[in-house]
Amino acid sequence: MNSNPLAPVWEAYLLLNDAIKVSKRVVAFSHQATTTLQTLGTNNTAEMKQQTFEKYKLGLTFLNHCRLLSQASESMLQPSVGFLEDLFVLSLWATFERYFRNFLQTKGEKVRELLPADLGVAFYQHLYKEIEYWKPEKMLEILKLSLFKGQGEKIGLVKEVLYYRNWIAHGKNPHHRPSLITPRLAYDRLHDMMTVLRTNE
């Protein structure tokens, strides 16, 4: 468990975030190109018409592959950004939680040393399976009493990520909206906690 499992998720978020920025530029270019085409009929000279048409043709092939985007607007793209960000918070939490469960299962291997040996093996097999069903809040409480003793505020910040993740995963109940967690906040908070876990592997 040497590499940071959150890194690929974060890099994917940054890449898609850049892709949305490019999409917004395509939308703006599409609108400009449409305006340019409309001006073809109003230009007075054949030379001006030819120059304008040549500029329009430069982007026409690309725009033909982006018809949906060429009809889009900023107001249509913005909700997509919100969905994308929520999905990345969900993914960051899922990656962190999987790592955390694996961490606890690995630490539990010490139980195998119990005597008699059959008891140790049976105990570990049961513990390994049960960790898969532990509630994340209870898992975080273990950290609060151990690796993060006296740092309850850090556990609280990570719980906010969990609550936001739960809100997304269970349909975004408008009557129980938690504190807003952006992908950047989720990444920073989970990365800090995972750094401590990784140094204690």
Sign of CA dihedral 29, 35, 38, 40: negative
130: alpha, beta or left, given left = phi > 0 and alpha = psi -120 to 50? alpha
Q: Which of 45-49, 120-124, 143-147 has the lowest mean pLDDT?
A: 45-49
CA distance 79 to 180: 15
pLDDT at 102 over 60: yes
Amino acid residing at 79: P
pTM: 0.78
Which among 186, 163, 185 is positioned nearest to 176, based on CA atoms?
163
The answer to whether the beta carbons of residues 39 and 56 sit under 8 Å apart is no
pLDDT at 201 over 80: yes
Q: Which residue has the higher pLDDT, 100 or 61?
A: 100
Which among 92, 85, 89 is positioned nearest to 6, based on CA atoms?
92
Distance between first and last Cα of the chain = 8
SS (H, E, C) 60-92: HHHHHCCHHHHCCCHHHHHHHHHHHHHHHHHHH
CA distance 100 to 104: 6
Angle at Cα 179 formed by Cα 176 and Cα 184, nearest 5°? 140
Calculate helix-pair angle for 74-107, 117-131, nearest 10 degrees. Answer: 170
Q: Which of 27-36, 66-75, 81-90, 149-158 has the lowest mean pLDDT?
A: 66-75
What's the rounded mean pLDDT across residues 163-171? 97
CA distance 116 to 109: 15
CA distance 122 to 201: 23
Confidence category of residue 51, pLDDT binned at 50, 70, 90: low
CA distance 38 to 56: 11
